[in-house]
Amino acid sequence: MWSKLSKAIIVSAKMGGGDPSLNIRLRKAIDDAKAVSMPKDNIERAIKRGTGELEGDAVEEVLYEGYGPGGVAVMCLALTDNRNRTAPELRTMFGKFGGELGKTGCVSYLFERKGIFVFGEGADEEKVTELALENGADDVELDEDGKVQVTCSPEAFSDLEVAFDEAGMDTEVSEVTQIASTNVDLDESVSGKVLALLEALDDHDDIQTVSTNANFPSESVSE
């Protein structure tokens, strides 16, 4: 877990600088690290690696694509300092659960990059909607859990992130991710295998987000 969070801090500091008061993405990455008791020294080293004050292997974002059981599409955003390590590990993991790591472009056409913000229970839907639409959001709706969800283009994400932060609106989720254009319905015989693959990928130290076009039976999701 610390390795995953450390890489997020490194990339955030590299992209937006090492001052968390001026870099929202970095501040959130630090908050996530503190939430799991990552030592202060580890956090500071990660920041300095991102800003170049400390030497270390470069961490880069890499998008991996593949197929899960039943032919469902899977996309994984990785932060890695060694592609030659990450790719074989993911290839083995896909194979273990009945899937296959594919080539670049094999499933990306089935997804669209979108910014997502999800607010916790009790969020003021009217206030969120007003601020979201004023700052370039595409849509505001209640998700299946009754929480306010805002979607936007990747280009509008930063403006919305700043607007929500300045308004003191805390989000449970704020990320740019891959959203499936259409979903593939799964039956019980396959859904468990797909869930196992997705959970294993999510647990991998290099993987930050996992997206799929699988539509699970309600029984599988609730288990």
- State how many domains the chain has: 3
* Domain termination residue (choose one: 15, 34, 51): 51
Give the amino acid at 92: T
Residues 80 and 187 in one domain: yes
Residues 44 and 104 in one domain: no
Averaged confidence pLDDT in the chain: 93
**pLDDT higher than threshold 90 for residue 220:** no
Residues 201 and 101 in one domain: yes
13 burial type by CB count under 10 A (0-12 exposed, 13-18 middle, 19+ buried): buried
Residues 31 and 138 in one domain: no
Q: Which of 38, 35, 36, 18 is nearest to 26 (CA)?
A: 18
Give the amino acid at 26: L
Average pLDDT over residues 149-174: 94
Residues 154 and 66 in one domain: no
Distance CA 88, CA 168 (A): 42
109: part of which helix (H) or strand (E)?
A: none
* 219 close to 188: Cβ distance less than 8 angstroms: yes
* 73 close to 179: Cβ distance less than 8 angstroms: no
10-60 pLDDT per residue, tens: 999 998 999 998 899 999 999 999 999 999 999 999 999 999 998 888 889
Residues 42 and 138 in one domain: no
Domain extent, residue 121, equals: 110-180
115-133 pLDDT per residue, tens: 999 998 889 999 999 999 9
pLDDT at site 2: 86
The model's pTM:
0.83
> Looking at the chain, how many residues does it have?
223
Residues 98 and 64 in one domain: yes
Task: Tell me the DSSP string of 49-61.
Answer: HHHTSS--PPPEE
Q: What is the CATH number of the domain that holds 43?
A: 1.10.10.200
Q: What is the CATH number of the domain that holds 70?
A: 3.30.70.980
77-103 pLDDT per residue, tens: 999 999 999 999 999 999 999 999 999
Residues 47 and 66 in one domain: no
